[in-house]
Amino acid sequence: MSIMRKIVLGYVIMIFIPVIAFGYHYYTQIYGNLTQQFVESRQKILEQAYANMKTDFARIQSVHRVLQYNPYLTDYLDGVYDSDADSVYALTRYILPLYTQSMFANPEIESIVIYKMKDQVLPITNLFRDRSMLDPQTEDTVSALKAGQGIWLRADPNVSDPDLIYYQYIYNTQITERIGLLEIRVSNSLIRNFYAAAGVEANWRAILLSGQGNLLTNEAAELDNKTLNLLQSEERNFFINRKTIVNQLKLEPLDVRVVITGQVGDVFRSVKHKEVVLVTIIVLLLIILSIAYYMLASTITKRILRLARHMRTLNDDNLRQLTIQSGKFEKDEIGFLIVAYNSMVKRMDELINHVHRAELRNKEAAYQVLQAQIKPHFLYNTLETIRMVAEANNDKEVADISFWFGKLMRYSLSSARQETVLAKEIEMVSFYMKIHKMRLQSRLTYEINVALDDKRLACPRFLLQPLIENSIVHGASAVLRPVHIRLEAKETEREVTIDISDNGNGIPPEKLLELRERLSRHDDLRKAEEPVGVGLKNVNERVKEYFGGESRLEIISEPGKGTCLRIIIVKRTVTDFEDLDRRRRTFDSERVS
């Protein structure tokens, strides 16, 4: 996948989708909280409206108390008056004002009728009716009422806002006999006022259910089956089913449940409008930001892709540099990267040409080395010829020195390896000291004492020769008296010690301290000024590098008594000895071959 697609994908995954998801989640949370608060507030309004309606019920029911405790009315219904004239007088003088007052105090009341229980009571059609005129079903419903107990009934059970009728028995003054049944018919304005107070307006609907959740009104057909099922099983007073808000409350006087429903969209119509505006703004903003991000990313990725395409075409035959277009992005990080890349390509081109020229020089050098190989063989042959002539002339000294010098030359010039064994190194040192012995005669004596298996100890080439040379130059050649050089090699459980000592003049203390400091330092010595120090320094570094650990070269000297150059080789682990043994076997096999 290209870097441009990765940037776009990263933008979509890490910015676009999280922003949309967070915005949607945040909006739904806010929207859900608002709807929940709205439903709770409507439930409180419904409960308050119900409390007001119960007050109205109590006010209307108080008409019964006014009539029950009026003696003229109870006497009239009890048949106390002997003549119709007395009944009409009592009705006109004392009873009708009660009717008028009750109707005036309760404007919701449409009519007040009393069904008389005794036949001798004078019936008046509008106020007092005979018991036979009462609906049988209603009579069955109210027959179980006790003293002081009334009941509210709906005049039309198929509508949500019916007229209401209140029934309660009127007893005689001793409350021992029913003498009448009070019927107060109330207009539907009472329940409509309740609905208005509960917020039933516009698209809100009120539906009545029985106490068991059965439908009582025709308006219930507007509800879907799921909402109806929830109404029959839901114990909560309010809930939201998808887009439908439902509040319900039981009306105890009517023994029904009133359910008020509305649509969420109708409630939050203005919020919905703002939601559309908000979503539109977010979408437009994301589009603008996406275009801006794309343009910004393209200014970066196009140059990176161009650099990547150029790098894919790069090879030994094509080392052209990437051209940079001048502009405002020339000095940014990518511009710096392209400049560094061009510098690297230029340097690679130069190095390839340099390597090509170096290969040509190596071929020339190899040819010269091939020519130079003739010179050592010519030298060896010449020395061998001198030795043979000296032996033929019975000149043993010339023959010996020619033999020793030839051995040294072969050791110095013939082998390309930088590693040998201690036995070979000691053998070459003995040839070296024999040659100097031939030159210095009795002024030089030497001895070699090896108390270890020197054929198994690998070491660097020319490890001992610089130390022997140092003893001869600064020991034997610096004094006129005879000088004795001793080479001793021994070992303990922990280390191998090689001592090269002489009995020359020794080293002055200040000079000895300076040499020891130079051996301990890691800086390079000036070869032109300190040739002896450089030789010792070189041997010390080779010992440390080859043997590792605490292996080192030490200088021990006492003025007038001589000097001892001591190589201390700390023995290695079993693995290191196996490596040394492997080196020795490799060296022996190469030497044999």
In a domain, 433, yes or no: no
Q: Exposed, middle or buried, 270 (CB in 10 Å: 0-12/13-18/19+)?
A: exposed
Q: Taking a C-beta distance cutoff of 8 angstroms, is the pair 227, 262 a contact?
A: no
Residue 350 lies in a domain: yes
Contact 271, 32 (CB under 8 A): no
Of 351, 371, 391, which residue is a domain's last?
371
Instruction: Say whether both 364 and 469 belong to one domain.
Output: no
- pLDDT attached to residue 527: 43
Domain boundary among 329, 356, 371: 371
Q: For residue 424, is it within any domain?
A: no
Of 345, 371, 397, the position where a domain reaches its end is 371
**The pTM of the whole model exceeds 0.85:** no
Model pLDDT for residues 402-447, shown as the tens digit of each residue = 788 777 777 777 655 678 899 998 998 898 888 888 878 888 899 9
In a domain, 391, yes or no: no
Per-position DSSP letters for 388-457, written without gaps between them:
HHHHHTT-HHHHHHHHHHHHHHHHHHT---SEEEHHHHHHHHHHHHHHHHHHHGGGEEEEEEE-S-TTS-
Based on the domain organization, do 158 and 25 belong to the same domain?
yes
The 3-state DSSP class for residue 51 equals helix
Query: What is the Cα–Cα distance from 530 to 517, expressed in whole angstroms?
Result: 13
Residue 244's closest CA among 39, 44, 25? 39
Average pLDDT over residues 486-511: 91
Same domain, 335 and 449: no
Q: What DSSP character marks residue 220?
A: G
Taking all residues of the chain, what is their mean pLDDT, rounded to a whole number? 79
Percent of the chain's residues with pLDDT above 90: 18
Angle (CA) 294-297-299 rounded to 5° is 110
Residues 265-307 pLDDT 10s: 766 665 666 667 767 887 887 788 777 777 777 777 777 777 7
Cα–Cα distance between 17 and 290 in angstroms, integer? Answer: 12
Q: CB within 8 A of 411, min separation 6: which ones?
A: 424, 428, 461
Distance CA 386, CA 384 (A): 5
Per the model's pLDDT, the better-predicted residue between 50 and 473 turns out to be: 50
Q: Does 463 lie in the same domain as 338?
A: no
The domain spanning residue 110 has which CATH number? 3.30.450
Coil, strand or helix at 559: coil
Q: Which domain holds residue 580?
A: 441-522+531-586
Report, as an integer, the average pLDDT of 107-115.
92
What DSSP letter does each residue of 353-407 carry, written as one string? HHHHHHHHHHHHHHHHHHHHTHHHHHHHHHHHHHHHHHHHTT-HHHHHHHHHHHH
Among 34-43, 224-233, 258-267, 569-578, which stretch is predicted with the lowest mean pLDDT?
A: 569-578
pLDDT of residue 415: 55
Measured between alpha carbons, how far is 421 from 437 in angstroms, rounded to an integer? 24
DSSP 94-158: IIHHHHHHHHHH-TTEEEEEEEES-TTSPPBTTTEEEGGGS-HHHHHHHTTPPTT-EEEEES-TT
355-406 tens-digit pLDDT = 766 776 676 665 555 455 445 655 666 666 776 777 777 777 787 777 887 7
pLDDT at 442: 84
- Are residue 37 and residue 128 in the same domain, yes or no? yes
Q: Does a structural domain hold residue 568?
A: yes
Lowest mean pLDDT among 21-30, 151-160, 178-187, 252-261: 21-30
Number of structural domains, the chain?
3
176 within some domain: yes
Question: Lowest-pLDDT range, 28-42, 236-250, 345-359?
Answer: 345-359
Task: Note whether 451 and 365 are same-domain residues.
Answer: no
Residues 366 and 485 in one domain: no
Highest mean pLDDT among 11-20, 90-99, 231-240, 293-302: 90-99
Q: What is the DSSP letter of 313?
A: T
pLDDT of residue 257: 85
pLDDT-based confidence at residue 566 (cuts at 50, 70, 90): very high
- Closest among 479, 535, 534 to 502, alpha carbons compared: 479
14 and 133 share one domain:
yes
CATH number at residue 448: 3.30.565.10
- Residue 465 is assigned to a structural domain of this protein: yes
pLDDT of residue 529: 43
Higher pLDDT, 304 or 261: 261
Same structural domain, 469 and 366: no
Q: Is residue 345 part of a domain?
A: yes
Q: Which of 324-333, 400-409, 511-520 has the weakest average pLDDT?
A: 324-333
* 361 and 457 share one domain: no
